[in-house]
Amino acid sequence: MQVRTYCRICEATCGLIAEVEDGEVRKLTPDPEHPVSRGYACVKGPAMLEVHRDPDRLGRPEKRDTHGWSPVSWDSATRDIGTRLRAILDRHGPDSVAVYIGNPTAFSWALSLFGTGFLAALRTRNFFNASTLDCQNKFVVAERMFGGYVIQPIPDLDRTHFFLCLGSNPVVSQMSFVAMPRALERLRAIVARGGRVVNVNPRRTETAHAVGEQVFIRPDTDVFMLMAMLRILFDEDLVDRAALGRCDGVIELRQAAMRFPLAEAAAATGVPAETIVELTRSFARAPSATAYCSTGVNMGSSGTLAFLAVQALNALAGNLDREGGARVPSRALGLARLARWLDRLRPPKRSRIGGFPVVATSLPTGVLADEILTPGEGQVKALFVLAGNPVLSAPGGERLRRALGSLELMVSIDLYRNETGAMAHYALPATDWLERNDFPLTQVGMQPEPYAHLTPALVPPRAERRNEADILLDICDAAGLRMFRVPGANTVLRRLGLDRLAPLVAKVVGVPISASRAGAPVRLDDAPAGEFLRNVPTTNGRIQLAPPDIMQDVERQSARLRHEAAAPPPLRLIGRRQRRSHNSWMHNLPKLRPQGDECWLSVHPLDAGARGLTDGVRVILSSANAKLEVPLKLDEDVMPGTVSLPHGWGHGGGAGWTVAARSGETGANVNLLAADGPAALEPLSGMARFNGIEVEIQAV
Ligand SMILES: Nc1nc2c(c(=O)[nH]1)N[C@H]1C(S)=C(S)[C@@H](COP(=O)(O)OP(=O)(O)OC[C@H]3O[C@@H](n4cnc5c(=O)[nH]c(N)nc54)[C@H](O)[C@@H]3O)O[C@H]1N2
Ligand SMILES: Nc1nc2c(c(=O)[nH]1)N[C@H]1C(S)=C(S)[C@@H](COP(=O)(O)OP(=O)(O)OC[C@H]3O[C@@H](n4cnc5c(=O)[nH]c(N)nc54)[C@H](O)[C@@H]3O)O[C@H]1N2
Ligand code: SF4
Ligand SMILES: [Mo]
């Protein structure tokens, strides 16, 4: 039997066809009739079948004690967790329990919702989301600028004449905050119809090799170029008149932009002044244009102001909500309403350490270790990790690992016992997406071509794997907690079940999922261009170009600009996503592991030569925070002054994935070089800083 389903590894959510026989999935192949992905899937989607069958997967709940790990029954695990959780809550109060949710949560409607319900039940402020490792800056800006953190304008690639792409590598990643498979094809079509694709990046990426123009920029300097572009827009009177009528804060933004003179911006970024001017003029004069930034910019030291500048550029050039510009899918507004309702269930308290405000319900993961290690009222004593691996994915992983070791209770709910789960008292086995029903929930706010797709669970869960929603309901029962803090909710939710709940939740965000009852994805209409601008959910219905708290960063960035224009640092580190891996968790599949070392440091021949280093040598890569030993590869694709190392490596540490931890191939955990703690984070959003870290290299 063939069942139409979709991949839930990344935002592209590509359609797949599953061959199901005798209660087993035999094969996963791209779905040629999917209305959006139309037969595309990357190497990871079909490889999920290997994850499903992986002998290293958790099959039963496991408990760690002084003798190591041993299997236990679900009943004994939930009862013990519930009792210990209750005791910690009673003794230390709600903030003593923390929850970290990882990236895969965004691809399960049930986990996103029940995870929030669990948080509400706990009443804790201590919620940490992987979003504070990759995109929290975008949430801060969208909240202030557009009236809701999920309101994220997406580039209308299929109609645009100019795509300005900062800090993304669509060919490898399929981007983020856009549910848009077939990125390469869409980019090539822009050029084919006479438009431009401009890749602003310290590395000539796989994308830039395939399509468009390359503009090399020094790591962590995009904000200077973007603010200088805004200044040119104002100075040369390139601002769209109609746009001015819809925006507040134009004068304040203009004053801010004046602090970023072209000559200094050019000196600091390494982008020639003529290029910045030419890009600005072409962007403003193109029939339609769209600026977009992703993790390369988000993970710098000024991602919030930089993203505000990106959206201001879109708005002021008249491209916000224009065909071919930056569009907000209409269902993002429904999602924003749901998010606002859920937000009210959380205490709006600041973090105890660093005083960071809650953004998009989350506090910065970069203070989690401190929240655990610092004694006092509200100290974290228990932690639930849902679908995450912060020991490898968060800054200062080793410090976090040690902090986890001091917890009174730690529970990891995951497909595997990963490096984080290795520190837990319980590792609980979750179902994967072949074993659960789903529909794209978070993604409805990011689909340029919206569609509804309700996929059933393809097969029953293997071994004793369970859906996270059921696990969390049982833990709530055992600890005397009510999901969503609503009396009777546990019973009602359990009785309704996930099959009946899914369509109800879909309806709330405006997705007529019943259209997809027969299991086929159904293309939906979207509101026409211009509709969003008539319905901006800010208090006065206008776009806010200069939110005061974000503008506070202007002073800091203009001081940094003067400093860096005078003396750019000699060597900065950036990341490098890889086709065959997904953050830290697809390294255990023999099929996806080509021979040899994948975790090498890219160094430009000029930088290597200046230090007497040659191809293939092992080097010490050091930051102010740590030192790593890594193999060096000469690479002319990185800009001189930039070195690049992928993240998600450094396996071992008691994790249960035997292939990933094979000796000699575990790679190095790049995030040891990144600092955690309040002073190390981007102050406005609490985002971790992974890009632009100042480093040095020397021979071993
Ligand atoms: N230096 C550097 N660091 C980075 C990045 C970078 O570019 N550079 N990228 C950052 C980014 S973009 C992100 S999103 C974060 C990711 O940070 P995390 O989400 O903390 O880390 P992942 O490696 O994605 O781990 C996801 C875990 O979820 C498990 N999992 C997968 N599917 C499911 C499921 O359906 N249910 C459950 N319960 N578990 C599941 C996997 O087995 C894995 O253990 O890392 C960030 N860290
Ligand atoms: N194969 C694969 N696909 C993935 C993932 C994966 O791990 N593997 N992860 C998924 C996740 S969780 C996410 S969030 C998305 C992320 O999607 P993207 O944001 O597109 O991720 P990257 O491919 O890491 O692209 C970031 C780019 O920023 C560049 N860069 C680094 N520093 C700077 C800088 O200071 N300025 C500029 N302008 N550029 C800079 C890097 O060279 C890199 O090309 O990808 C998703 N897709
Ligand atoms: S691009 Fe790959 S990982 Fe992402 S949804 Fe498509 S098949 Fe899955
Ligand atoms: Mo991410």
pLDDT in tens, 157-178: 999 999 999 999 999 999 999 9
Q: Residue 517: its pLDDT value, please?
A: 67
Expressed in angstroms and rounded, the spacing between residue 50 Cα and the centre of ligand 2 is 25
Expressed in angstroms and rounded, the spacing between residue 459 Cα and the centre of ligand 4 is 28
Q: What are phi and psi of 631, to 5 degrees?
A: -80, 145
Residue 599, both tokens: 């975790």
Residue of 40, 168, 687 to mutate, ligand 2, most atoms within 8 A of C-beta: 168
Residue of 201, 279, 584 to mutate, ligand 2, most atoms within 8 A of C-beta: 201
Q: For residues 471-482, give the mean pLDDT.
A: 98
Separation in Å, CA 673 to CA 131, 626, 695: 20, 5, 9
Q: Write out the DSSP string of 621-682.
A: EE-SS-EEEEEEEE-TTBPTTEEE--SS----TT-S-TTTT-TT-S---GGGSS--SGGGS-
Helices (H) and strands (E) counted in the chain, each on its own, are: 25, 27
Nearest CA, atom 14, ligand 2: 176
Q: Which amino acid is at 385?
A: V
Separation in Å, CA 640 to CA 139, 198, 203: 32, 20, 10
Tell me if 59 sits within 8 A of 429, measured CB to CB. yes
Return the ∠ at Cα 360 (arms to 449 and 468), rounded to 5°. 80
What SS3 class is residue 235? helix
| Cα distance between residue 189 and residue 616, in whole Å | 38
Tell me if 166 sits within 8 A of 302, measured CB to CB. no
Tell me if 174 sits within 8 A of 10, measured CB to CB. yes
Tell me if 591 sits within 8 A of 673, measured CB to CB. no
| Cα distance between residue 583 and residue 586, in whole Å | 8
Half-sphere exposure of 690 (CA within 13 A, CB side): 33
| Cα distance between residue 684 and residue 521, in whole Å | 39
- Residue 130 burial (10 A CB sphere; 0-12, 13-18, 19+): buried
pLDDT interval class at 596 (50, 70, 90): low
Mean pLDDT score of the chain = 96
Q: Residue 105: its pLDDT value, please?
A: 98
Question: Ligand 3: which atom is nearest the Cα of residue 45?
Answer: 7
Q: Is the pLDDT of residue 680 over 90?
A: yes
Nearest CA, atom 34, ligand 2: 219
Q: Could you give the percent of the chain with pLDDT greater than 70?
A: 98
Q: Is the pLDDT of residue 664 over 70?
A: no
Q: Residue 519: its pLDDT value, please?
A: 82
Q: Is the pLDDT of residue 514 over 90?
A: no
pLDDT interval class at 521 (50, 70, 90): very high
pLDDT interval class at 400 (50, 70, 90): very high
Pairing of strands 601-603, 451-452: unpaired
H or E element at residue 613: none
Q: Is the pLDDT of residue 60 over 90?
A: yes
H or E element at residue 213: strand 213-215
pLDDT in tens, 209-230: 999 999 999 999 999 999 999 9
Q: How far apart are the first and last CA of the chain?
A: 56
Return the ∠ at Cα 377 (arms to 372 and 383), rounded to 5°. 35
The strand order across the sheet containing 290-293 reads: 213-215, 196-200, 162-166, 290-293
Half-sphere exposure of 391 (CA within 13 A, CB side): 23
Separation in Å, CA 387 to CA 16, 61, 62, 129, 453: 23, 15, 16, 10, 23
497: left (phi over 0), alpha (psi -120 to 50) or beta: left
Q: Residue 432: its pLDDT value, please?
A: 98
In this structure, which ligand is nearest to the CA of 181?
3
Q: For residues 23-36, give the mean pLDDT.
A: 97
In this structure, which ligand is nearest to the CA of 416?
1
| Cα distance between residue 436 and residue 94, in whole Å | 31
pLDDT in tens, 87-123: 999 999 999 999 999 999 999 999 999 999 999 999 9
| Cα distance between residue 619 and residue 668, in whole Å | 12
pLDDT interval class at 377 (50, 70, 90): very high
Nearest CA, atom 8, ligand 2: 582
Separation in Å, CA 310 to CA 298, 318, 453, 545: 12, 13, 32, 11
Return the ∠ at Cα 642 (arms to 639 and 643), rounded to 5°. 120
Query: What lines the ligand 2 site, CB under 6 Å?
Result: 10, 103, 134, 166-169, 172-176, 200-203, 205, 217, 219-220, 222, 294-297, 300, 574-575, 577-579, 581-583, 691-692
Q: For residues 261-287, give the mean pLDDT.
A: 98
The environment of the single-atom ion ligand 4, i.e. residues with CB closer than 5 A, is 134
Going through 40-147 in order, the beta strands assigned E by DSSP cover 62-65, 68-71, 97-101, 127-129
Nearest to 233 by CA among 216, 219, 247: 247
Expressed in angstroms and rounded, the spacing between residue 582 Cα and the centre of ligand 1 is 7
10 close to ligand 3 (CB < 6 Angstrom): yes
Compute CA 520 distance to the chain's CA centroid, rounded to the nearest angstrom.
28
Expressed in angstroms and rounded, the spacing between residue 341 Cα and the centre of ligand 4 is 24
| Cα distance between residue 156 and residue 322, in whole Å | 9
| Residue 349 burial (CB count, 10 A) | 14
pLDDT interval class at 509 (50, 70, 90): confident
Compute CA 530 distance to the chain's CA centroid, rounded to the nearest angstrom.
28
Exposure letters 494-532 (e unless 16+ CB within 10 A, then b):
eeeebeebbbebbeebbbebebbeeebbbebebbebeeb
561 close to ligand 3 (CB < 6 Angstrom): no
Tell me if 416 sits within 8 A of 56, measured CB to CB. yes
Residue 589, both tokens: 């599949």
Tell me if 557 sits within 8 A of 223, measured CB to CB. yes
Residue of 9, 175, 443, 578 to mutate, ligand 3, most atoms within 8 A of C-beta: 9
Return the ∠ at Cα 188 (arms to 187 and 194), rounded to 5°. 100
30 close to ligand 3 (CB < 6 Angstrom): no
Q: Which amino acid is at 582?
A: H
Tell me if 304 sits within 8 A of 141, measured CB to CB. yes
Residue 486, both tokens: 């609503």
Q: For residues 602-622, give the mean pLDDT.
A: 97
Specify the DSSP class assigned to residue 347: -
Query: What residue has token string 């990882």?
Result: 102
Nearest CA, atom 4, ligand 1: 393
